[in-house]
Amino acid sequence: MGDDKCKELRAAYDQCFQIWLDTEYFAGKVKGPMVPCEEQLKVYHECLKTDKHRGKFLIDLEKYKQEYPMHEAAPTSQNK
């Protein structure tokens, strides 16, 4: 995908994430690790994977969700 397409996908993810911050996170509705706007993030990551320089910095969302299930707290410097 072209760089402009990735920029459009990033803008869509950023917009979704900002709405999530305002309506969920800042409202105190978040109860543990999660991946907000997961579908938008996946599409954006797929676009970035086509860039050999940026793609190597992406995290595997499925691996993250397995390592940090929704019912457990994400590791912090105090509980690692």
pLDDT digits (tens, 9 = 90+) for 34-75: 889 999 999 998 898 887 777 667 767 777 777 877 654 444
pLDDT tens profile 30-42: 988 788 999 999 9
How crowded is the C-beta side of 72, counted as CA atoms within 13 Å?
11
Q: How many CB atoms are located within 10 Å of the residue 7 CB?
A: 12
pLDDT tens-digit readout, 18-29:
999 999 999 999
Report d(CA 31, CA 33) in Å as an integer. 7
DSSP tag of 44: H
Residue whose tokens read 């940026």:
54
